[in-house]
Structure 1
Amino acid sequence: MAAELSPIDKAKFVAARRAVDFVEDGMRLGLGTGSTAAWMVRCLGERVREEGLKITGVPTSSRTAELARQCGITVLGLDEAKWLDLTIDGADEFDANLNLIKGGGGALLQEKIVATASDRMIVIADVAKEVAQLGAFPLPVEVVPFGWQTSKALIEETLVGLDVLGREASLRMNGEAPFVTDEGNYIVDLHLQRIGNARQLALVLNQIPGVVENGLFIDICDVVVIGHGDGKVELRDINEGTTAEERIEFADSDNIFADLDE
């Protein structure tokens, strides 16, 4: 089964496989949402089954919670866990300073709350997610449904005075209806192409009435684990200022490939 994975999936898998090595017995972990995070949850489940690893997971979405339970991971809410040792999550984009765009899967609010309630955040990503400047990926902004069109208009008006290349905003849809987050909110995606000052944009967006949170994660990520399709992984630690390269070997016999039902 491993041989049948695409290069992108192999890159996501090796990043996830390496990231779970940071997990120690007894930890309380934030579990991210998305395709790369799903690999991470499966890798954790494998360690729980084979090593008897005892951990508690705080999922960032209902989808992740369901997968974690299926993998044998004990799940708690953040209010029960209170504070976390580590969060491992994916990203839609990251730059050289490990600033991120997240929210492509629609879970940015819970993801940001969980990440900031952790001692450390590790991001797992394939190499294609690295960018020189954030903005090519649409920036998600979570808004309350009441008056969402007004919030969208205010966002577009605000963008005129900011250092961005594009200013198109669109309501995320799920078929014929608006996409609804786990908190019952909508998402407006901003097609900015290039973000000149991500920190300023994040602060300004959150001042707009109706905006709940935005998908810019600034100064939150500590380590990024970058996967490549040939099995190479690169680890960058923003706090230590270090970069290291390793190689992950895996075989079709790995238990993680036994339940690929997504």
Structure 2
Amino acid sequence: MATANDAAALIEESKRLAAFQAVADHLSPSYRHIGIGSGSTVVHVVAAISSLSPSITSAMTFYPTGAQSEALIEDAGLRLAYINKLPPGVQLDVCFDGADEVDSALNLIKGGGACLWQEKIVASAAKKFVCVADFRKISEGGLGTEWKKGVPIEVLPMAAPRVLDELKRLGAQGAKIRSGLPGKAGACVTDNGLWIVDAVFKPLLAKAEEGYEDGKDGVWTVDGLADKLIKIPGVAEIGLFYGKSGLEVESGAQKPVAAYFGMADGSVKVQTLEKGLV
């Protein structure tokens, strides 16, 4: 009979397999600027990069999305730089990051680890963003189906009460300021000194059907809700990664070109807009 430790080990192995395949498929030896995201899956991404020959990685510079990925880069002996030091007119060749949930159109919920703003800055600075996750992050019923904790929203602390009011008006079924417990009393404070509000909505539609009224009865498309949330005064950034991928626009993409999922059976499935999940 499988134990909790067995289940945890299976999930870690699935993350590792997805990370190593994603790096093999998307990290060309010719690349020079690489974004490194945050979260448990990215540990394996950095391990995959570190397993490459120093003759390849020594020519590369790695840009973190927060304190965790900064430490991973340094501990691996890779060259560290910050996104504000990326030369003008230069894009990251690729960014690797995880997700809390991925829908059929490669829209993401991110921010479970409270690094969403820096994650979005780094992802949108890349020519292509590659998502790496495990099988639990696949959403077949719309964002919010598997990730039950809500859309993370980074807010100015003084605006948090008003933001909560606006979220209720938009149909949020629950919205609250994320606690810093167990490590810290009070609110969760991001690397930017802001707070996180988690807002639970009905599962989000990847796209609207003809004649659909966005927001009716509290049901939103990803794009429609994202547009409303980012316009709330006091909101700095939202944990919906949506819009276009790096295959569709030359710069500013938020969606990944591909998502790699480690599966429970030891396989890796790859999701793209062109082929779906295979």
- Place the TM-score, normalised by the shorter chain, in its bin: 0.7 to 0.9
| Contact 1:7-1:228 at 8 Å conserved across structures | no
Of 214, 218, 225, the match for 1:201: 225
Separation in 1 of the partners of 2:240 and 2:97?
Answer: 14
Structure 1 residues 4 and 193, CA gap change in structure 2 (3 angstroms): closer
| Contact 1:143-1:187 at 8 Å conserved across structures | yes
Deviation at 1:4, TM superposition (A): 9.8
Of 89, 95, 99, the match for 2:97: 89
Matching residue of 2:252: none
Matching residue of 2:166: 154
- Alignment of 1:108 onto 2:116: yes
Gaps of 5+ in 2: 1-5, 205-219, 245-254
Matching residue of 2:270: 235
- Alignment of 1:8 onto 2:33: no
- Alignment of 1:134 onto 2:143: yes
Deviation at 1:236, TM superposition (A): 2.5
Separation in 1 of the partners of 2:83 and 2:66?
Answer: 12
| Contact 2:94-2:128 at 8 Å conserved across structures | yes
| Contact 2:92-2:125 at 8 Å conserved across structures | yes
Superposed CA offset, 1:36-72 (max 9, x none): 1121112212225586553211100111101110011
Of 168, 190, 193, the match for 2:199: 190
The share of aligned pairs that are identical, in percent, is 32
Matching residue of 2:247: none
Deviation at 1:5, TM superposition (A): 6.3
- Partner letter of residue 47 of structure 1? L
Count of aligned pairs? 235
- Alignment of 1:168 onto 2:209: no
SS state at 2:127 partner: strand
Structure 1 residues 50 and 178, CA gap change in structure 2 (3 angstroms): same
Separation in 1 of the partners of 2:153 and 2:144?
Answer: 13
TM-score by length of 1: 0.84
| Contact 2:58-2:79 at 8 Å conserved across structures | no
